């Protein structure tokens, strides 16, 4: 619905007081009462920001700043809803008209102006600006709804991700705290390796699915208290492939990264890992990061086949693995920020630990 005339805000800029009074009288006679008159063009931007007008009537020839300079200042504000400008001038000529339009004016009226013509042009441009404003507001509402729905879908997806990761850990007789510690350590390492904020958040949410493939490993093998024989080990080594297959079919950035980590976190820097025997930087960095976080947390955690290692021994062993099992650069970053890693360990320790 179009707004009433008295709701439209009009900014009038002219260095001649007589012209300001004439324009105020003409506009008021038509029902426009929200008028802001400026005699000094140097104050236009301040008045504009204060009043947020729907239309600007602007003189061209003024001291200090001419109308073209004023329009340049207004454009520099980068307001997505900059109101239309009607140029008022006593000068005539096609070049002046084209320059005014090129500078951002929407219309041009010569002085002395005809009352009916002026009011008609004012009404038309106010109607056009109102329509533009309504479209802009509608767009913002729709974009807000899309953002809300996107957040809801992302949160739903993250809930599924977390539950899948915890399901895999419960199969391994875990409390679920391992994936919290491992994922937060992975995100910490990614941060110190220069990943962007968006990539770090993806790492935080994707890395909990690193061992999802354990869902496909029989309990007799997964929970065996002693060493695995050759046949059992061959089955166990399939869990990265199983995890990658379970995560396939979704091309979102989150699931793509989760699939990459699941498939590569058991590859080794020297090429002796599995399932593909990748070496060095041929292993995705996401997998190399997850491997360091996963190995350390596995060492200091109780597993069916071993007790928890003391932290000092686990840290020393991790350093021994650098350049063999693990990416030496990632291990170096791990050691440089060890206090932050240990803070994660302490904050998310298993419930019975230390009891």
Residue 179 confidence (pLDDT)? 84
243, 212 in Cβ contact below 8 A?
Answer: yes
Long-range contacts of 216-223 (CB under 8 A, 24+ apart): 216/242, 216/246, 217/171, 217/242, 219/171, 222/171, 222/172, 223/172, 223/173, 223/304
Q: DSSP alpha helices (H): ranges in the chain?
A: 17-29, 44-51, 67-75, 94-102, 115-171, 177-192, 197-206, 219-222, 230-236, 239-246, 253-264, 285-299, 311-321, 328-336, 338-347
Classify residue 67 by its DSSP letter: H
Q: Which residues pair with 37 in a beta bridge?
A: 12
Under-50 pLDDT residues of the chain:
1-4, 354-355
pLDDT of residue 97: 77
Cα distance between the two ends of the chain: 68
Domains of the chain as residue ranges with CATH: 5-141 (3.40.50.2300), 172-347 (1.10.3210.10)
Predicted local confidence at residue 353, as pLDDT? 53
User: How far, rounded to the nearest angstrom, does the alpha carbon of residue 189 sit from its chain's CA centroid?
Assistant: 20
- The answer to whether residues 177 and 349 touch, using CB atoms and an 8 Å cutoff, is yes
**pLDDT per position as a tens digit, 76-92:** 998 888 899 998 887 77
For 232-288, write each residue's pLDDT tens digit.
999 999 999 998 998 888 788 888 999 999 999 999 999 999 999 999 999 999 999
Q: What is the DSSP string of 294-317?
A: HHHHHHTS-BTTBPPPPHHHHHHH
Q: What is the per-residue pLDDT for 237?
A: 92
What pLDDT score does 355 carry? Answer: 38
pLDDT at residue 308, rounded to an integer: 87
Q: Which residues pair with 303 in a beta bridge?
A: 306
Contact 93, 113 (CB under 8 A): no
Instruction: Give one DSSP letter per residue of 245-273, joined into a string.
Output: HHTTT--SHHHHHHHHHHHHTT--TTS--
């Amino acid at each position: 619905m179009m707004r009433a005339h008295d709701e439209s805000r009009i900014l009038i800029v002219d260095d001649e007081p007589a012209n300001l009074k004439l324009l105020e009288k003409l506009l008021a006679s038509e029902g426009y009462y929200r008028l802001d008159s400026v005699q000094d063009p140097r104050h236009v931007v301040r008045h504009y920001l204060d009043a947020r007008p729907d239309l600007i009537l602007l003189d061209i020839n003024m001291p200090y700043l001419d109308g073209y300079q004023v329009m340049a200042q207004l454009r520099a504000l980068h307001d997505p809803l900059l109101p239309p400008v009607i140029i008022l001038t006593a000068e005539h000529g096609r070049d002046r008209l084209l320059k005014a339009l090129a500078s951002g004016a929407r219309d041009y009226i010569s002085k002395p102006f005809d009352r009916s013509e002026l009011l008609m042009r004012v009404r038309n441009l106010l109607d056009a600006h109102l329509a533009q404003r309504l479209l802009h507001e509608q767009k913002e509402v729709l974009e807000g709804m899309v953002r809300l729905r996107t957040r809801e879908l992302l949160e739903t997806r993250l809930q599924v991700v977390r539950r899948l990761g915890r399901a895999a850990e419960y199969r391994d007789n875990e409390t679920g705290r391992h994936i919290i510690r491992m994922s937060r350590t992975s995100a910490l390492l990614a941060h110190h390796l220069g990943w962007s904020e968006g990539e770090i958040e993806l790492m935080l949410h994707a890395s909990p699915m690193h061992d999802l493939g354990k869902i496909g490993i029989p309990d007799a093998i997964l929970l065996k208290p002693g060493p695995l024989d050759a046949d059992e080990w061959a089955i166990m080594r399939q869990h990265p492939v199983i995890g990658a297959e379970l995560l396939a079919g979704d091309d979102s950035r989150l699931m793509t990264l989760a699939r990459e980590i699941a498939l590569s976190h058991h590859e080794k820097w020297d090429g002796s890992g599995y399932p593909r025997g990748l070496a060095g930087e041929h292993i995705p960095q996401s997998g190399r990061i997850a491997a360091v976080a996963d190995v350390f947390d596995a060492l200091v955690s109780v597993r069916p086949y071993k007790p928890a290692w003391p932290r000092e021994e686990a840290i020393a062993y991790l350093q021994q693995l650098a350049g063999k099992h693990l990416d030496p650069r990632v291990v170096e970053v791990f050691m440089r920020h060890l206090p932050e890693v240990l803070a994660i360990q302490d904050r998310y320790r298993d419930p019975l630990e230390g009891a």
